[in-house]
Amino acid sequence: MLNFLPFRGYRFDVDSQGLGKLISPPYDIVSRESRESLLEKDSNNIISIELPVGDDAYNDAALHLEKMVSSGLLKKDDNENFYIYRIRYFYNKTKYVIEGIIGLLKLESFDSGLVLPHEYTLPKAKQDRLNLLKATSSNISPVYTLFDDSDDSITAILDKYPDSLGISAEMDGDIHTIIPVSGEDAEKIKKQFSTKKLYIADGHHRYETALNYRNFMIENDSNFDQSHPANFVLMTCVPLQHPGLLVLPTHRVIKVKPQVDLNGIPEMISNNFLVEKIEGIGLDLLEEEYKKSMPAFIFYDGKDYYIIKPKEKNILSGFDIDRSEEYKMLDVSILHSAILEPFFHIGPKDMESEKSLIYTRDPHEAIKMVDNGTANCTFILNPTRVEQVSAVADAGDRMPQKSTYFYPKLATGLVINRMEP
């Protein structure tokens, strides 16, 4: 049974305009330049805590956090709340709204089947997050999860709360709103979530770090028990069925290894794929295949564009791959297992090191990197479908890294969980 609970969060005690200067995108998409820009707006921007720099970065972050609390800039809410989180945003000139619930989740191992991952993680990122968590004893940003709300039980509660009941802030053109919910509705939320399971959309590293931190506290805190705050993690839960939920593709840009004959690739893969030379990037052709639920890629070698489609939708069923059927139906799995590994010699270790692969969400940037000599070729992909995320997770499997990019990203700093006794 899931234990998803309301809590007394710490929030910036400012107006909407001030809040916009204090929140930030997630640390893992903040460059050095954008970090400096955020701090130029306000030296107390949450990125100073979430992405610390310097020789004693983690301790400096902890001291800065304490200063924010002691000064009253960060204030603890009087009530135990869930928090409705709503983002109003534009994508491709279309207006969307995405919303969910922020609360504290009692940690569950992946073996429990109650919290399911869909991607693999990297050790370096988890160590960084663990160092920060040890120093601050705080969840600065939430794990982003999805849940089945086909009965609209949670959506019905979300719809009751207009933006005017909370505080809104603008970040990168999007409007982020947080609304505290207590009392009877909070009890309903708690009860409804007790029978659900969660799929991690974004924040695999943060969740696994929370598990590692709990284990660390078990070993090092003699007062540890089931009520210890290290048993919980800050979580944002969004309905799987929400119309504002977007998953964007992450394209593969390739630095070809010396033994690869790039000119021969189209012919070499033709046994299993239909390969057709096209004029231009062909994003419209790719979208047509997505609408038909058919796997497809655009391949650009610096001279020509090709659209590549498997001759059989279940092409990987003929490969010796010990993975779930749900995994084998993914576009990104087909690309990696049937093209990148056998013909480009790019395996899992290359994916982890990112020496042979560069990832980008912008197809035009991918083309530009080939044209300017940064890389040799690129594969442009369609997005993974939301239902594929849950299907792969339910099968107990995980997708290749960088298979999904949930958009928009959640803001950091709207509410913080401090692990106080």
- Give the model confidence (pLDDT) of 272-292 as tens digits: 999 999 999 999 999 999 999
In a domain, 389, yes or no: no
Cβ pair 139, 376 in contact under 8 A: no
pLDDT of residue 421: 73
| Same domain assignment for residues 319 and 203 | no
| Same domain assignment for residues 255 and 343 | yes
pLDDT of residue 353: 66
Residue 326 scores a pLDDT above 70: yes
Q: Give the DSSP letter string of 362-398.
A: -HHHHHHHHHTTS-SEEEEEPPPPHHHHHHHHHTT--
| Same domain assignment for residues 162 and 306 | no
Q: Give CA torsion, residues 114, 118, 122, 127, to 10 deg.
A: -30
- Exposure on the CB side of residue 372, measured as CA atoms within 13 A: 8
| Same domain assignment for residues 222 and 312 | no
In a domain, 402, yes or no: no
Residue 401 scores a pLDDT above 90: no
Summarize the chain as % helix, strand, coil (round to 5): 40, 25, 35
Q: What CA–CA distance (Å, rounded) separates 297 from 307?
A: 6
Cβ pair 103, 198 in contact under 8 A: no
| Same domain assignment for residues 230 and 261 | no
| Same domain assignment for residues 187 and 284 | no
The CATH number given to whatever domain includes residue 362 is: 3.30.1760
In a domain, 32, yes or no: yes
* Domains in the chain, number: 2
Residue 100 CA to its chain's centroid (Å):
15
Q: What CA–CA distance (Å, rounded) separates 338 from 315?
A: 8
Q: Helices 204-220 and 123-136: crossing angle, nearest 10°?
A: 50
| Same domain assignment for residues 295 and 218 | no
| Same domain assignment for residues 41 and 141 | yes
Q: Helices 57-70 and 123-136: crossing angle, nearest 10°?
A: 40
pLDDT of residue 295: 96
3 state DSSP class of 291:
helix
pLDDT of residue 273: 96
| Same domain assignment for residues 220 and 259 | no
pLDDT band at 122 (very low <50, low <70, confident <90, very high): confident
In a domain, 30, yes or no: yes
Give the contacts of 285 (CB within 8 A, at least 6 positions apart). Answer: 278, 296, 298, 307
Please identify which residue in the block is written with the tokens 């960084």: 128
For every residue of 11-41, which 3-state class applies, written as one string? Answer: EECCCHHHHHCCCECCHHHCCHHHHHHHHHH
Express as a percent the part of the chain with pLDDT over 70.
100
Structure tokens at 204: 């695999």
Q: What is the DSSP letter of 142?
A: P
Residue 334 scores a pLDDT above 70: yes
- Examine residue 142 and say whether the peptide bond preceding it is cis (omega within 30 degrees of 0): no
Structure tokens at 241: 């069925």
Average pLDDT score over the chain: 94
For 340-382, the pLDDT digits (tens) are 999 999 887 777 667 789 999 999 999 999 999 999 999 999 9
Reported residue count of the chain is 421
In a domain, 388, yes or no: no
3 state DSSP class of 75:
strand
In a domain, 337, yes or no: yes
pTM for this entry:
0.93
Domain that holds residue 8: 4-246+407-418
| Same domain assignment for residues 155 and 179 | yes
In a domain, 233, yes or no: yes
In a domain, 190, yes or no: yes
| Same domain assignment for residues 18 and 157 | yes
| Same domain assignment for residues 206 and 344 | no
Structure tokens at 92: 């491709």
- Rg of the chain on CA atoms, in Å: 23
User: What single letter denotes the amino acid at residue 53?
Assistant: V
Give the contacts of 183 (CB within 8 A, at least 6 positions apart). Answer: none
Give the closest residue to 176 by CA, choosing from 366, 385, 413.
413
3 state DSSP class of 268:
helix
Count of other CB atoms within 10 angstroms of residue 371:
12
Q: What CA–CA distance (Å, rounded) separates 88 from 94?
A: 11
